[in-house]
Amino acid sequence: MRILLTGFLLLALAVSGCASRKRVAPTAAYGSLSGTYTNADKLIVTPENPLVGTVVKVNSEARFVVLNFPIGQMPKFGQSFGVYRQGLKVGELRITGPQRDDNTIADIVDGDAAVNDTARRQ
């Protein structure tokens, strides 16, 4: 009797340990409110390619700066730029030209600028 009871318990343990649950498909993190996921709900990410330059020379008396931009990314004449120092906006610039290689001239419209400040398009 003891062997029969032990065998029955081992069989019950083996059967319950091997039983598995049905797998449920995960819901989309950005799906619609109903929890379903359709092609219309897909998130489209476009990388931002901002136009950023660096102040390399400042003429405070004539109120202009020389800006250096990455190769192939030159601003157009008349574009406005904000001048940032350590993340804080300290002035505004307007591109006036001339352009030479990867450098261009901008007038200081408002505030001030210093060497190594960042100029970002507004």
Identify the pLDDT of residue 38. 59
Give the residue ranges of the chain where pLDDT is below 50. none
Identify the pLDDT of residue 116. 96
Which residues contact residue 55 at a Cβ distance below 8 angstroms, ignoring those fewer than 6 apart?
65, 66, 67, 68, 83, 113, 114, 115, 116, 117, 118, 119
Q: Does domain 52-121 have CATH number 2.120.10.30?
A: no
pTM of the model: 0.61
Identify the pLDDT of residue 33. 53
Identify the pLDDT of residue 41. 67
